[in-house]
Amino acid sequence: MKVGVEYFVGLSAVLFGIGLYGIFIRRSPMIILLSVELVLNAANLALIAFSRYRDDASGQVFALVVMAVAASEVVVGLGLVVAMSRRRAELDVDRLINLRN
């Protein structure tokens, strides 16, 4: 590998951190979902980097499955957002506390 795997993993960590920051800071569910995507992609990067480093395709398989799961999760999440907006709920995670207690 021309660039050491550590750089890829480090980058993945940084992207992960930025995604986490987004999850914590933002209040719109849409943006949070986007940040989650960011996190998942960062994980994918790490997986594929190690897959290359180990010369083992399992990492790539795993990354593929992660992509599938991420897609499903996005579907459900967006469906929730649409349903909420239909009920004229405010799209603010701090207000959506029906699960309290």
Partner 1 sequence: METLSFICLLMPLAAVAALALLHTRISRETAAWLGTGFAFASFAAALIVFVGLLGEGAGQREHVYTLYTWAQSSTLTVPFDILVDPLSAIEMLVVSGVGSLIVMYSVGYMHGDPKERRFFAYMNLFLFSMLLLVMAANFVLLLAGWGLVGLSSYLLIGFWHEQQAPVKAAKKAFVMNAVGDVGIAIAIFFMARDIGTTNFHEVFQRGPEVWSKGGTTANLVAFLLLVGAVAKSAQIPLHTWLPDAMEGPTPVSALIHAATMVTAGVYLIARAHPLFENAPDIQSLVALLGVATLLMAGVIALVQTDIKRIIAYSTMSQIGYMFTAVGVSAYSAGMLHLLSHAFFKALLFLGAGIVIHALANEQDVRRMGGLASALPWTTRLMWVGTIALIGIWPFSKDVVLASAYEAHSTTGWIVWVGGLLGAALTGLYATRLMRLVFYGERSEFAREHLHTDHGEAPWTMFWPVAVLGIGTVLAGLLWIGFGVNHAFATFLEEVAPNVEPAVSVEFATTVIAWALGIGGALLVWRLYERPERVAAVRRRFGSLTTLPERKFYWDEAYDLVFYRPAARVACWFNAVLERWVFGGSVTGTAWSVRGIGRWVSDAQTGVVRQYATVFVIGAVAIGAYLLGRSSL
Partner 2 sequence: MTYQIVFGAASVLAVVSALGVVLSGNPFRSALWLIMNLASLATFYLLLDAAFLAAAQVIVYAGAVMIMFLFVIAYLGGSADEPTRDTPPWQLAVSLLAGGAIVAEVIVAIASHEFTGGPDVAGSFGSAQSVSVPLFGTYLLGFEVASVVLLVAAVGGVVLGARRPGPRAPGSTEPFVPRQPQLVPEAELQTAVMESQTLITPETARSDGG
Using CB under 8 A, which residues numbered 17 to 56 contact partner 2?
17-28, 30-31, 33-35, 37-38, 41, 44-45, 48-49, 51-53, 55
* Contact set for partner 1, span 23-82 (CB under 8 A): 23-24, 32
- The interface partner of residue 10, options being partner 2, partner 1, none and the CB cut-off 5 to 8 Å by kind, is partner 2
- Given a contact cutoff of 8 angstroms between Cβ atoms, the answer to whether 29 and 81 are in contact is yes
> Which of the 8 DSSP states describes residue 55?
T
Nearest distance, CB of residue 93 and partner 1, angstroms: 5
Nearest by Cα to 74 from 43, 45, 42, 37: 37
Give the residue with the Cβ less far from partner 1, 24 or 76: 24
Nearest distance, CB of residue 21 and partner 2, angstroms: 5
List phi, psi (to 5°) of 63.
Answer: -60, -35
| CA-atom Rg of the chain in angstroms | 17
Token reading at 60: 């790539």
Binding site for partner 1 (CB under 8 A): 20, 23-24, 32, 93-94, 96-101
